[in-house]
Structure 1
Amino acid sequence: MRVEKTSKIDHLINQLDLNEHINSFKQFFSRESALYIEGDQELHYKYIKSLDTIEFKAPPKVADFFTIKGHLKKHGVLNFEQIFEIVKVVRYFRYFKNKELDGIIGEWMRKFIIDEKFNEVEKYFTHDGKFEENLDETLFGLGARVREHKANISSSLKRLISNAKLSSYLMDSQIHLINDEECVLVRGGFNHVLKGAVISRSSSGGFFVAPDSILKSKEQIRYINQERESIFYRYAKEFSNKLSELQLFIAFIDKEFTKFDNYQARVLFARSSNLQIIKSKKDSKIILDGFYHPAIQHAKPIHVDFSKNILMVTGVNAGGKTMLLKSILAAAFMAKYIIPMKLNENRSHVGSFKSVLAIIDDPQNVKNDISTFAGRMQEFSKIFEHKEALVGVDEIELGTDSDEAAALFKVILDDLIKRGQKVVVTTHHKRLAALMADRDDVELMAAIYDEEQRKPTYEFMQGIIGKSYAFETASRYGISNTIVNEAKIVYGDNSEKLSLLIERGSQLERELKQKHQKVDEKLEELKAKELDIKAQREKLYSELQEQRDALKNSYDVAINEAKTAARAGDSKAIHRAMDKANKKLPKDKKEQVIIQEEFKVGDSVKYHSKKGVIVSMRDKKDATIEIEGMRVRVKTSQLKHTKIVKQNPRTDVKVSVEKRSGLKCDLHGMRADEATEALDKFISDALINGWDEVIIYHGIGTGKLSYAVKNFLIAHPRVKKFEDAPQYLGGFGAKVVTL
């Protein structure tokens, strides 16, 4: 079942042209793993984003623990290579623990408690997995003896090569190692002067001979190595026994490393290619902004709003319709598996689907013994088995009459929507698009054709049915104008006009629906505001009534207290009670009186922030003032008298704006938070100085600084756009920013 599922995923990856992208992604895994991370995707995404804020080295390549755990369970003996696989994982987690991180990654690492028994095993292995023979006195001595015998062998061979009797038979003066045997290369007839065993023949006809003079040393080495192997086996058995007692710990680190490997692979892959990590949201809406399909070099970014149930893409041949369909499905697939991609993550939104299905290829071939249309029907029949799927169909009417297909596929699409499917369709024929255009849950999109350049722009416009431009495409790809013109005559003006009427009629219908929808929304908004105002008025009236009742009650209480004091004949108590009652009464607001200042010629006045003197007046409302050598006619209501006010002690705060000599900002060597602060000040200075284009150098490095700069520029309200600088200005290590 798992193999079948993997096969379907591989087929989909191939259909969507994601093979190279996925293979590049898999290179960042330390051990072979499935693309999908089992478990809570929200939690996985939280760990991935948290890990993305940390600088760390990639884990080593590690084998799967399946065989290792099986041997330990049966109390078998592991070899040193298998033991070192466990050591590598523990050492890597210890490396992360030693970073003493905060947040969820730090909490995760603190769960790894390494038993002292494991430390007794680990100390016997070097960083590259070799056994530390120095820790065992016997092994150390045996190793010294092996080295001594090898030195004797080397000396013997060197003396042999310099022997005058053998020199005429030697084909070279090198000592060769063939099948782990030291030997010399000699010609035929060597047996008259050299006793030894032939190990192999050379391509030039010579013989590789191991001399008998070194056999004794070799036998000694073999004997010593057997003794060493027995000691190694004793250690392997001892280590295996200790690890058998730590099976739960080994199973835990194996599971956690697989999870961590999935996280780090996504983070490091995204950093390596400046990609974004996003996951699918809990709805079916798809909005792509600045999406680049990884299979296309120098592609134009894709911008599409696929919030409705059906997206129908029409328009020019070879205009990018199929690639748009593949891009939508690819984005949904990669978001589902949290695979990094290139897009504007802040303005994009990718929904969640139980499965992604593609009907793209032509099913007709000799082996299938089936027509194109029949094959398409077989593929459509499988779609009905799914629910809540994203379905992409390329050239939906392929293989049959377009008018009949339009009627058939309209009903099929209606039924798919009822089943909760979301469908994106490409077609050259307008009949189906026209039939579907009156639905509120259908979004139309057309590939744009440049009439002047006579070629597709590979851009799209939403809300219209596009023309196929079959005649223009034929001319562009080499069909003679004579044939194309005759075809236009056969097609006829009436057919062309009918096609244009379908396009225009569909567009007008959708525009009218949109206008009606906007009017309805406006009416609903006004009704909501009316209800809100009514509710506020009732609330205010209720609050006012409550305050009035509370005030009356408190005043009645105070009066009653005064009456009680009066009956008791206590004059002081009466006054206190009356004062208390008066305080409860609402105070009369003093009427504000606006006093109009009077001016005369010669008065020193202030006009806005400038000071001047009145030089003439026409009446009380108009005056002419002199400010810094200029005379200005103003209204007296805009003037104020200037007075000499005694200065109180004060602290002056001066704000200075640093004037920069150039239009560039160099962030090399800074941390992300330092760079953000410096960049914020730099852009503020640029705006004050009136610059509309600047360049920012951040370098390439690990990609962390570039990532921080990009996010800052996206979020800044005064940044119109930015892009990578040309190669002569820094390339990927710099950004040109338009303000």
Structure 2
Amino acid sequence: MNHKIIETLEFDRIKGQLAKHLVSAAGHHELAALAPATDYQQVKQMLVETTDGADILRLVGGIPLPKLADIKPQMKRLKIGANLNGTELAQVTKVLQASLSVENFFTELREKKVHLRVLEKTVDQLVTIPSVTTRLVRSVDPDGRINDEASSKLHGIRQLIIKTEGEIRQQMAHYTNGKSAKYLSEPIVTVRNDRFVIPVLARYRNKFGGVVHDQSASGQTLYIEPGAVMEDNNRLRQAQIEERQEVRRVLAELSAMLAPYRQDILNNERLLGHLDFINAKALYAHQMKLTLPQLSADNHVQLRQAWHPLIAREKVVANDIVIGDDYQAIIITGPNTGGKTITLKTLGLIQLMGQSGLFIPARDGSTIGVFDNIFADIGDEQSLEQNLSTFSGHMDNVKAILEQITSRSLVLLDELGAGTDPKEGAALAMAILDEIGQVGSMVVITTHYPELKVYGYDRAKTINASMEFDQETLQPTYRLLLGIPGRSNGLEIAKRLGIQPSVISEAQSLVSDDSQDLNAMIGDLVEQRKQAREESERLAKLVAQNKADQAELTQKLDRFNEQRDKMLDQARSQANHQVSQAKRQADRIIHHLRQLAVQQGANVKENQLIDAQGALNALHQDNPRLRHNSVLRRARAKHDLHPGDAVLVKSYGQHGELLGKRGNHKWEVQIGILKMEIDEQDLEKVAKKDLPKDKQTRRPQRSAVNTTQTRHTSARLDLRGHRYEEAMSELSNFIDHALLNNLSSVTIIHGKGTGALRKGTQQYLQSNPRVKSFSYAAPNAGGDGATIVNL
């Protein structure tokens, strides 16, 4: 795509905003090379990648990438056999670590069943080298310092250095703290020429012997290495030399170890940069509230409430822009400062963003085309160097555009034909539009010429448009009106600004009647369009509110029906249970009567006893409504909940007290020392006298077991920040107390971190026979940072 359109529409400013979200040098290189693509499949691929990045950002907060330096120079040095220094090795190590962490990150996404479209294929190209990475991490600090663990010899040398330095300082303490301290300018130990020295007053230099390594600027202080420590300093110096030699050897060894993997590391850097770039596109889309555009192979553009991304969102006015289906040319007319030029730039810049794989500033459902080129002639093209007037500059641009356009091009022309005689300018503009129309390009122009309004009405595949203008305030609203040409408001504006009425009247008399009638007609159309739009917006709000109300009512009705059916089932079951108990009791009474009749000879007829038993059996009801049954009324009373009521939590089999309502269908319940939020469908109201013995009376048939509550038991345990052994002990105690309190489900929060707590938690749960099952929490409840345990 031509470079001039990038400059004209300020696409580089979009890239500048995108750069703020990048963390890698490779990502910045890819952004610098970013340009709008002209191939449909390539644009589609880039948008799909951005969609994957947006999904990852929404679900898990984005791809975890550290800041990565450019390691291409290091890889070039390895190619010629050079050794890398510590800082360079640390930068390479960071790339290898990032490759491993990104691969693990996407493996976890697969385990969580997160569906991605194309990014998994990109990640599969990463080459991880665990052994090399582990060696580098052990050997080199992130700041480039070679660690003691880089080699056993280096570790020994540094231990010797530390020991020798300690011995030297201990000897020096005799000078700084003893009787000799009075001969020193300061009671300190310092270093000169890599040797430990003390600052001695010059007049006492012979008190210590040894070697003078330096003196102060005044010459009053000499930095002397006492003779008593010279041997230790020599040993220290020798160890330091050996340390440097060993460090150089380690650097050479590590560089040689990396050399065979040079191409793999370079490829990893490129892939990580690409992932960083996708991450940045997703972050930019989230920040700017951009949306995924649909692609049209036929270049049918339909932008819904599109706005210019470089204008503050609270100031810019969004517009619908449609071209390519019913018409291929739009002629926008109207006064200056109404927003015509911004509309052109908005259309062009959105196309550049979409064809670069970026989301666009428009509402969901917007469609863009894939143009082979976008041309624009916008702004003042006057050039003193080339001796071009404004008109000549525009015509030079138009000439170049006409020579390059195809049927798949988009052309944006601002003030076409301006800068010359109005009659000739209008005629030239119409001829240029005809030429573009014959080629088949899409074109949007702005103009002040009234002749082009008639052209837009007469020509096929062409439509007039204007920027809305408030007739009362004579101020632009910056809304695009498709299908209505703009009217001139020059006389009205002049009148409002205080031009004498006689001048206005004279001017009106000079304007032809046809022009005045046309302006009046356009003004009436604009006013009608404004009223229709306002009414449409009002009705749209009402429809949206009605839909929301209907959805809420439908949800409440479904909930009501569900609760009603459940309560009826419960009432039916309880009624049948009580009738069954009454029936058994009646059977016992009848049996007792029969025995009395046999024993005492009472005159009790057998048929009367059978009739009585049949009547009792008839008490069993299968009617689902049980409208007048007292049992049903008692069942309903059990669900008439109020704060302070005693309740049974059915899922736990525990009794508790209601503390207060939480939401539409949730209650806070006190169960012993626990406070839990329970759905009201899981609660059943009970009388205080019906509570068990630990709250009222115990059942006599069960032996009493006294338990002592030793800790506050919660349904949630947070292990984050604990050491491993402490966390495992806390976990074991927590599960024991959860079992004692009859909890059926608990949550363990172990965080993500290094994964040690998570692994230890799962191993313990697998080994505990009282654990029925466990699984990770939902993504919105902690994901793999928390585990739900069923006991």
Confirm whether residue 43 of structure 1 aligns to residue 45 of structure 2: yes
Find the counterpart in structure 2 of residue 433 from structure 1.
Answer: 453
| Distance (whole Å) between structure 1 residues aligned to residue 450 and residue 266 of structure 2 | 60
| Distance (whole Å) between structure 1 residues aligned to residue 473 and residue 434 of structure 2 | 39
Q: Answer yes or no: is the 8 Å Cα contact 1:465–1:507 preserved in 2.
A: no
The offset of 1:255, in angstroms, is 3.6
Tell me: higher relative CO, structure 1 or 2? Use CA pairs within 8 A at least 6 residues apart.
2
User: Judging changes above 3 Å, is the alpha-carbon distance between structure 1 residues 86 and 437 closer, same or farther for their aligned structure 2 residues?
Assistant: farther
User: Judging changes above 3 Å, is the alpha-carbon distance between structure 1 residues 417 and 26 closer, same or farther for their aligned structure 2 residues?
Assistant: farther
User: Judging changes above 3 Å, is the alpha-carbon distance between structure 1 residues 473 and 107 closer, same or farther for their aligned structure 2 residues?
Assistant: same
Q: Choose which of 304, 312, 318 in structure 2 pairs with 1:301.
A: 318
Q: Choose which of 52, 61, 65 in structure 2 pairs with 1:59.
A: 65
User: Judging changes above 3 Å, is the alpha-carbon distance between structure 1 residues 160 and 248 closer, same or farther for their aligned structure 2 residues?
Assistant: same
Find the counterpart in structure 2 of residue 363 from structure 1.
Answer: 381
Query: Where does structure 1 lack aligned partners over 5 or more consecutive residues?
Result: 510-646, 667-739
Q: Answer yes or no: is the 8 Å Cα contact 1:430–1:502 preserved in 2.
A: no
2:431 alignment partner AA: V
**Residues 206-285 of structure 1: pairs in structure 2 closer than 5 A:** 227-278=242-293, 280-285=295-300
**Residues 122-141 of structure 1: pairs in structure 2 closer than 5 A:** 122-124=136-138, 128=142, 130=144, 131-141=146-156
2:475 alignment partner AA: K
Confirm whether residue 381 of structure 1 aligns to residue 399 of structure 2: yes
SS in 2 for 1:466: coil
1:301 alignment partner AA: A
Q: Choose which of 335, 360, 364 in structure 2 pairs with 1:341.
A: 360
User: Judging changes above 3 Å, is the alpha-carbon distance between structure 1 residues 159 and 400 closer, same or farther for their aligned structure 2 residues?
Assistant: farther
* TM-score, L = length of structure 2: 0.53
SS in 2 for 1:134: helix
| Distance (whole Å) between structure 1 residues aligned to residue 518 and residue 225 of structure 2 | 98
The offset of 1:234, in angstroms, is 2.6
Find the counterpart in structure 1 of residue 368 from structure 2.
Answer: 350
1:303 alignment partner AA: D
User: Judging changes above 3 Å, is the alpha-carbon distance between structure 1 residues 15 and 111 closer, same or farther for their aligned structure 2 residues?
Assistant: closer
1:97 alignment partner AA: E
**Residues 319-334 of structure 1: pairs in structure 2 closer than 5 A:** 319-334=338-353
User: Judging changes above 3 Å, is the alpha-carbon distance between structure 1 residues 282 and 255 closer, same or farther for their aligned structure 2 residues?
Assistant: farther
| Distance (whole Å) between structure 1 residues aligned to residue 386 and residue 443 of structure 2 | 26
| Distance (whole Å) between structure 2 residues aligned to residue 18 and residue 494 of structure 1 | 46
User: Judging changes above 3 Å, is the alpha-carbon distance between structure 1 residues 230 and 340 closer, same or farther for their aligned structure 2 residues?
Assistant: farther
Confirm whether residue 444 of structure 1 aligns to residue 452 of structure 2: no
Find the counterpart in structure 1 of residue 720 from structure 2.
Answer: none
| Distance (whole Å) between structure 1 residues aligned to residue 662 and residue 395 of structure 2 | 65
User: Judging changes above 3 Å, is the alpha-carbon distance between structure 1 residues 412 and 146 closer, same or farther for their aligned structure 2 residues?
Assistant: farther
Find the counterpart in structure 1 of residue 515 from structure 2.
Answer: 499
Find the counterpart in structure 2 of residue 94 from structure 1.
Answer: 100
Find the counterpart in structure 2 of residue 424 from structure 1.
Answer: 444
| Distance (whole Å) between structure 2 residues aligned to residue 134 and residue 15 of structure 1 | 57
SS in 2 for 1:264: helix
Alpha-carbon displacement from aligned partner over 1:163-182 (angstroms, at most 9, x marks no partner): 88887xx9xx9999999999
Find the counterpart in structure 2 of residue 286 from structure 1.
Answer: 301
Q: Answer yes or no: is the 8 Å Cα contact 2:63–2:102 preserved in 1.
A: no
| Distance (whole Å) between structure 2 residues aligned to residue 502 and residue 263 of structure 1 | 52
Alpha-carbon displacement from aligned partner over 1:211-230 (angstroms, at most 9, x marks no partner): 56699899988876654443
SS in 2 for 1:341: coil
- Among all aligned residue pairs of Structure 1 and Structure 2, give the percentage whose two residues are the same amino acid: 20
SS in 1 for 2:499: helix
| Distance (whole Å) between structure 2 residues aligned to residue 488 and residue 82 of structure 1 | 78
RMSD: 5.1
Q: Answer yes or no: is the 8 Å Cα contact 1:58–1:264 preserved in 2.
A: no
The offset of 1:417, in angstroms, is 2.9
SS in 1 for 2:287: helix
Q: Answer yes or no: is the 8 Å Cα contact 2:139–2:150 preserved in 1.
A: no
| Distance (whole Å) between structure 2 residues aligned to residue 23 and residue 227 of structure 1 | 50
The offset of 1:450, in angstroms, is 1.0
Find the counterpart in structure 2 of residue 26 from structure 1.
Answer: 19
Q: Choose which of 16, 23, 46 in structure 1 pairs with 2:9.
A: 16
Aligned residue pairs, count = 504
User: Judging changes above 3 Å, is the alpha-carbon distance between structure 1 residues 394 and 183 closer, same or farther for their aligned structure 2 residues?
Assistant: farther
1:78 alignment partner AA: L
Alpha-carbon displacement from aligned partner over 1:349-397 (angstroms, at most 9, x marks no partner): 1111122222112121433321111111111122122433222222223
2:480 alignment partner AA: F
| Distance (whole Å) between structure 2 residues aligned to residue 379 and residue 18 of structure 1 | 20
| Distance (whole Å) between structure 1 residues aligned to residue 223 and residue 319 of structure 2 | 73
Q: Answer yes or no: is the 8 Å Cα contact 1:182–1:210 preserved in 2.
A: no
Confirm whether residue 488 of structure 1 aligns to residue 504 of structure 2: yes
User: Judging changes above 3 Å, is the alpha-carbon distance between structure 1 residues 42 and 249 closer, same or farther for their aligned structure 2 residues?
Assistant: same
User: Judging changes above 3 Å, is the alpha-carbon distance between structure 1 residues 448 and 181 closer, same or farther for their aligned structure 2 residues?
Assistant: farther
1:335 alignment partner AA: G
Q: Answer yes or no: is the 8 Å Cα contact 1:447–1:456 preserved in 2.
A: yes
User: Judging changes above 3 Å, is the alpha-carbon distance between structure 1 residues 116 and 17 closer, same or farther for their aligned structure 2 residues?
Assistant: closer
| Distance (whole Å) between structure 1 residues aligned to residue 247 and residue 449 of structure 2 | 75
User: Judging changes above 3 Å, is the alpha-carbon distance between structure 1 residues 57 and 196 closer, same or farther for their aligned structure 2 residues?
Assistant: farther
| Distance (whole Å) between structure 1 residues aligned to residue 363 and residue 504 of structure 2 | 43
Find the counterpart in structure 1 of residue 77 from structure 2.
Answer: 71
1:286 alignment partner AA: V
1:373 alignment partner AA: F
Comparing 32-41 and 85-94, the one that deviates more: 32-41
**Residues 255-654 of structure 1: pairs in structure 2 closer than 5 A:** 255-278=270-293, 280-297=295-312, 298=314, 299-307=316-324, 308-346=327-365, 348-383=366-401, 384-387=403-406, 388-473=408-493, 481-482=498-499, 488-489=504-505, 491-495=507-511, 497-502=513-518
Find the counterpart in structure 1 of residue 763 from structure 2.
Answer: none
